[in-house]
Every structure is written in structure tokens, then in C-alpha cells.
Structure 1
Amino acid sequence: MRSFQNSSRSRFFLFLFALVMLYPVTTRSQDEPEIAVGGALRYNYNLSSWKEGQKNRGGDFGYDMFRVNFNAKYKGVYLNAEYRLYSNAFGGGVMKQGWMGYWFNETDEIQVGLTQVPFGIQQYNSHNWFFNLTYYMGLEDDHDMGIKYVHYGDTFEYHLAFFKNSEELRFGSETESSPSRYSYDVAGRNKEINQLNGKIIYKFGEQAASRLGFSAQYGALYNLDTKETGDHYGLAAHYEITHNRWNLKAQALTASHNPVNAPGESRDEITMAAYGAPYQVAADFELYSLAISRNIPVNWGPVSNLEFYNDFGFMKKRKNSFTDSFMNVSGVLVTAGHIYTYIDYAAGYNHSWLGGNFVDDFALGNPDAKWEARFNINLGYYF
């Protein structure tokens, strides 16, 4: 495993260095820097079936998140950064993304920093505010520290990336990864390191624009106790089609984690963390998702569009004694100028964020669990 890390990392950086040096550069230089600042302020109302006190008072309405987006460009080099401020209970301040990029020409770019991991349907494998089950496994809208090359062709699009590690906020010799992060990553006594990603997409159809793709990732898991290195991998097939006002996203994936834990510690589950709190996830699983939406333009004062959707996810855990997890979200996104409002009914079975036992619903689970649901309204002003 150590030889894999060193040799593959060296070859990958040599490849990228040669790419930068030899690729024909057509980007025009700028005389003056360009800077743009945006952001969002969001509030959230929710009423949960498993919270008796909340039901007695008719739900809760409060602060969700404030974010700031920075985009800058000078002499062909650009910056894309987003910083979010949640409440302390949900991790406080976190950097969602922050990378520097360069366009070689109109179809090829390179990104360096905290950038989105090219895996599965992007930018999102869902339409709703809660994402799909893939997000809670670190396989939707995940961002890690590394370097990524992207080619946007008319027929084929491909992504190649190397990630040194996930977001690293603590630089001690044996410190665990901080749970105060936006996207889910392996945490606890294991750390994600030296990950390779590849994704290819075949684009076809004019009336019905289709994107058929395949994604793969392979990386190492360094254990802080044993000082040994395990590995993990993920494979996904995905398809997205947009026709008139309809959109369909379908994805099937398999994932496996093989940490070298200390004696007596289970290897059937791993710790993952985000939003200030860790939980357990089955080490090996398949995940299937299907999401569909329909846009309906309207003219109701400031309201210009309604997007109705239903997003479904099923997590099949390979260990027989573990109980599988499900998630389904039905809702509508209401667009009114710069205000976007998600109105969702999110239901989950053995889902850490939807009732039950937060710590191990995505791992051991509970065969006697019942479906729980949360009615949620997220109101955001985006500027």
C-alpha cells in the first residue's frame, strides 16, 4: 500500500506538471483584476415526527446559515471560494469550497485547493434541500484538498483528480479530523489520504439532453492507532436526462472501506463526520437513487417558477446483521426573485438525520425502526 501511495502520487503530479507546461494556452491576460462577492442568508422551519416537544409547540423556526461567496480573476487565474456560518450546534463556521483555477482554453481547466470530488451526478444528485442518501455517505457534493483537471467536450466530458486528504483543520501528528465541516468524510481514528478519482460522461441527445457517466475512486485510510494504511474505493454508474421541463437523475454505486483498526475495534463500520457531529456508517454498501423533477413557470407576483420533485434513496448494507436505510423527499422549490424556498416532506427509515438513533442508523440500524418524517421549509435570500 505504501508503494501505491508514493508511486501513484509521483506519476500523477508529473502528469499534471507536463500538462500545464505543454498545453497550448489561449486564455487572454487581464490588465485589471475582477472581483465579485455574493452570498445567502437562510432561515429554517421544521416539524419532526419523533420530537414530541416540538410537535406540542407546532415546530420551530430559526436561523439556518449565512454564507459569503468570493470570485476573483486576474491574468487568467481565478478564485472560487465559499465560507458558511452555521450555528455552533451544527459546526459553526466552515469552508465549503475554496480553490484556484486556470483555463487552458475554452474546454480545459485545472483546479487546485478545496474542490468538489468528481464522483457521480453533479453538482447535486438530488433536487431537494436535504440532498439524497449519497450526501450522508460522503458521495454527493463532497469537497477535498487536491488538484483536478476537467475537459468539457461536446460529446465527452472527463475529470481526473488527486486528493491529498479531506479538509484538514488540525495538523498534529495524531489528531483526528475535525467534524466541523460541510461535506461528510471519514473521521475518528482513520484519515482519508492519497485518493485518485476519475469520471467520464457521454453526452447525447438534443431534444432530450442526456449525460451517461461512470465514476471511480480509490484511496488510502491511515489509522492513527496502528499507524497502518488500509484502503477504500467507490464505483458508480449514473444517468441524467433533461427534456423540456423534466429532469431525471438515476445512479447506482458500490463502496467499500477497509481500515486497519486497532485490535478489538470493528472493521464492519467506519466513523464519518460533518456539521460538528460524527456517526457510524456501514463499511461496505450499495446505494441506489432515483430523483425526478418538473418545472412549472408561473406569474404570481414575484413568484416565477415552481419545481416539484421526488428524490428516493436506498442503502443496501452488505453485512447481513445490519438493517438497510431508506430516504424519500417530496417537495417543491419556489422561486421568487432572489428568494428560493424549499418546502419538503422528508421521510427516513434508519436515517441518522430523520429520527431514530443518530449514532448508528447508517451502520447497525434497528430492525424494529419505523419510518419517521420531517416537514421542512427553508427560506433563503441569495445575492
Structure 2
Amino acid sequence: MQKKALNTCVALVVLGCVGTPAVAADLKIGNPETDLGELSVSGFLRAKFQDKSWDSTSDNKLTFDAAKINVDYKSPKIFGHIEYRCYQFDELCDFSTLVDAYAGYNINDKHLIQAGLQAVPFGPGRFWESNYYGGVVTQIGLEDAHNVGVKYQGKFDSGTKVELGYFSNDGGTYGGPYSKDASRYTSNYVKPENTDHTYLDETNMFVARVQQDIGGLPEGLSSNVGASYWYSDIDNKTYNTTGDRKAWALFGNLAYNDLALAVTVGQNDVDNKDPNNSITSLMGSFDDNYFVANKGTFYTADVSYSFKNVGKFDSISTYAMYSSYDKDEAGFKTSSRNLVGMAAYYKDITFVAEYIMGKNDFLIGGPSNSYAEGTNDGTEKLLNLQLYYNF
């Protein structure tokens, strides 16, 4: 009943934004440079058209897809941020989830601390690619991961940026029509629907990220390199034991004017203390459950080029991505997601066109064991067209 009421409230907010977009776009109160601060609301409404190679029954029509609401507070010392999203599976906002809810304090202009539900500082950033669909590493809970904790961030004159975080637990479950515990934004270990499967929970996450700007480069050229490390407890609720996750990532970014290249490589190593299945673990997000191999190496490479002031468009961005999870277990098949696409920006409107190829990828037509042993020798394809109204 509470989830249904929450989804109804979110749907009403979305309908309100559709009906009064001009008012939402101007919703700012106060001044961020004063002690009283500024409160603002922003977000997007998104429609989509998708053609799936694995689904011949798809109706292939433009439908409402998602809405995002951001509430931000800024002042010289105190800041805060809330991000809430709702999606349409069968009806308006039948899946909705909290993404972020944190508050922070600016110690000075280079150092801050923030606490609450927030992005985990692992890898090159919240998103590792320039596209709108994301890479396969998102599904193993290391990219675009949002958990509950506290983080310190410091920037130094040497061009070094340091982030240290402790996250006590994941962001919890919200409202969805299909799963009791996988109704969440981030891919986390979840309570299984099938009691024969082991129930895992990730806690006590210690995460560190260091990023270094490269100086002395020619005009128009910029670059940075970095590394991150993740250590956490994996609580096995079924057998009352505790294992761990150890993960690391190395990354680099190189840009020359409007051309950008980003590369990330790392490893995921999970000990789930499961006497019956030590090589895979159950995870879930976006109202679905799936198995993930406990040990593997991941790769992400992304290249993009931005064209400014093209006709009536403010800019047009083109991009391509390679993303994979190569499992250590003998006989397990690599999961990959490759993508080419473009995004065109005109005032408050964004149009996205992406062609995605997935192999052993649960989100691109694969079965629930795609990120584990994998059983699909073929490549599935998705044409993803999206239209955003940003407010």
C-alpha cells in the first residue's frame, strides 16, 4: 500500500511537470552566494522508441519512459541534493526509486564532506561513458553505484583529487511491480525470490579514489589518470557467515579540443562464503534479479566528439563504447555491450539515437545467468531512440 501511494504521488508530480514545464524550468528560490542559500528544482521527462532483435512482439511505438526530479540546495557552506526517478514498465511510474539524498559541508573551496545516499567514488566518475545507456559494468554494481555513507573530497594545488568514503549499506528497495527487493536503482546483492538461492548483503564498504591531472601539455590537450579501490563485507544471510568484495580500477582520460577518449580497466573479486555456489552471486536492480560471476576483469573504452553550433542545434555529440566483463571461471563466457550513437541538443530538448549490441548481456536480450556462466553465443541488438525535455 505504501509503495502504491508513493508511485501515485510521483506520477502526479510528473503530470504536473508535463502540464507546467515553463514554471518548473524557472523554479529557483534564493541566492547560492548568501548564507540563506538557494533552493532549486530540475530534472527531465523522457520518451523512448525501441526496436529489439530478441522481441518480435514489441509494439515499436513512442512511449513515456522516465522522469527525473532533482532538488538542490546551495549556500557557501552547506549543500544538499535529492534525485528521484520514476519509470514506466506497464503504466505511468509503476517503478520509482530514490537515487541520491545527501547533505554536505564545504570546509573551504577545495575540501568538503557529504553524508547520505550518494554515488560511490569508484572508477573515473559516476558514469564511465559518454552515452545514455551505460556499460555492462553497471550490472555488477561498480559503475553508477549509489549507497549510504559518508565521503571526504579534497582537491590540491598539484592537480590531485582525493576521495575517501565509508558506506554502511546499500540504498534499499523502493516501488516496483515485479520484485520485492530488486526495485532499486543501483545493482546490489538482493534477497532472492527463490528460497533455494543464497541471500547476500553488502555492508561496510571502504572506497578510495585518486585522480591526477597531467600538466605541461600542448594547448587544447588535457589528460588525467587515476585509480580506485573498493573493499566491503559480503554478509551471507543464508549461512550466517561473512565474506568480502575486493575490487580495483585504473582509468585515464585524454581530450583534445572536442575529441575525448576514456579507458577503464579493473578487477572484481567476491568471496560470498557460499558452500554450494562460490562462483556466482545473485544481484538485482530495476525490478529484476540476475546472477553475476564473482571473479572477473572488466574493460570500458569510450570515444566521443562534439560538434558545436550545428545549424539550429546548440551541439551534436557522437560517441562509441566498448564494455565487457571477462570472467575468471573456466567455461564462463564474456559479457559485452558495444554501442554507437549520437545526441543532439536544442535548447531544453535532447534527442538520442543509439545502436547497442549485447552478448551475454541480460539487459540486451540475455537470460538471467548472462553475467555468470552465460549461455548465449549470438549477439542481440537494440535500437534505442530517446527524446528528453530538460527542465
Interval of TM-score (by shorter of Structure 1 and Structure 2): 0.7 to 0.9
Q: 2:294 maps to which residue?
A: 283
Q: 2:208 maps to which residue?
A: 198
Give matches, 1:304-315, under 5 Å.
304-315=314-325
Q: 1:168 maps to which residue?
A: 172
Q: 1:144 maps to which residue?
A: 147
**1:99-154 Cα distance to aligned partner (Å, 9 max, x none):** 10110011101110011101111131111111112212112111100000001224
Letter in structure 1 aligned against 2:146: H
Aligned equivalents of 1:94, 1:149: Cα separation in 2: 25
Give matches, 1:225-236, under 5 Å.
225-236=238-249
**Residue number among 29, 45, 49 corresponding to 1:45 in the alignment:** 49
Give matches, 1:259-274, under 5 Å.
259-261=272-274, 263-264=275-276, 266-274=277-285
Q: CA deviation at 1:226?
A: 1.4
1:75–1:250 Cα change, 3 Å:
closer
Is 1:77–2:78 an aligned residue pair?
A: yes
Aligned equivalents of 2:203, 2:280: Cα separation in 1: 18
* Structure 1 unaligned blocks of 5 or more: 1-27, 171-175
The alignment's TM-score, normalised by the length of structure 1, stands at: 0.85
- Is the contact made by 2:126 and 2:145 (CA closer than 8 Å) also made in structure 1? no
Q: 2:39 maps to which residue?
A: 35
Q: CA deviation at 1:37?
A: 0.8
Letter in structure 2 aligned against 1:267: S
Letter in structure 2 aligned against 1:76: K
Give matches, 1:202-241, under 5 Å.
202-205=212-215, 206=217, 207-241=220-254
Letter in structure 2 aligned against 1:196: F
Percent identical:
24
Q: 2:388 maps to which residue?
A: 380
- Is the contact made by 1:177 and 1:191 (CA closer than 8 Å) also made in structure 2? no
Q: 2:24 maps to which residue?
A: none
Q: CA deviation at 1:31?
A: 4.1
- Is the contact made by 1:46 and 1:60 (CA closer than 8 Å) also made in structure 2? yes
Q: 2:339 maps to which residue?
A: 329
- Is the contact made by 2:172 and 2:184 (CA closer than 8 Å) also made in structure 1? no
Is 1:370–2:378 an aligned residue pair?
A: yes
Aligned equivalents of 2:233, 2:389: Cα separation in 1: 40
Q: 2:116 maps to which residue?
A: 113
The secondary structure found in structure 1 opposite 2:363 is: coil
Aligned-residue CA RMSD in angstroms? 1.9
Is 1:318–2:319 an aligned residue pair?
A: no
Aligned equivalents of 1:103, 1:160: Cα separation in 2: 15
1:238–1:75 Cα change, 3 Å:
closer
Letter in structure 2 aligned against 1:252: V
Letter in structure 2 aligned against 1:324: T
**Residue number among 258, 267, 271 corresponding to 1:258 in the alignment:** 271
Bigger shift: 102-111 or 200-209? 200-209
Give matches, 1:171-186, under 5 Å.
178-186=181-189
Q: CA deviation at 1:32?
A: 2.3
The alignment's TM-score, normalised by the length of structure 2, stands at: 0.84
- Is the contact made by 2:76 and 2:106 (CA closer than 8 Å) also made in structure 1? no
Q: CA deviation at 1:74?
A: 5.2
Letter in structure 2 aligned against 1:51: D
Is 1:125–2:128 an aligned residue pair?
A: yes
1:49–1:112 Cα change, 3 Å:
same
The secondary structure found in structure 2 opposite 1:135 is: helix
Aligned equivalents of 2:37, 2:334: Cα separation in 1: 52
**1:208-259 Cα distance to aligned partner (Å, 9 max, x none):** 2111001001000111111111101111110011210011110110001111
Aligned equivalents of 2:61, 2:296: Cα separation in 1: 35
Letter in structure 2 aligned against 1:364: E
The secondary structure found in structure 1 opposite 2:109 is: coil
- Is the contact made by 1:91 and 1:276 (CA closer than 8 Å) also made in structure 2? no
Aligned equivalents of 1:270, 1:32: Cα separation in 2: 48
Q: 2:103 maps to which residue?
A: 100
Q: CA deviation at 1:177?
A: 8.2
Aligned equivalents of 1:29, 1:345: Cα separation in 2: 43
Aligned equivalents of 2:33, 2:343: Cα separation in 1: 40
Q: CA deviation at 1:381?
A: 0.9
The secondary structure found in structure 2 opposite 1:353 is: helix
Aligned residues: 343
- Is the contact made by 1:91 and 1:180 (CA closer than 8 Å) also made in structure 2? no
Q: CA deviation at 1:75?
A: 6.9
Aligned equivalents of 1:146, 1:91: Cα separation in 2: 28
* Structure 2 unaligned blocks of 5 or more: 1-31, 192-198
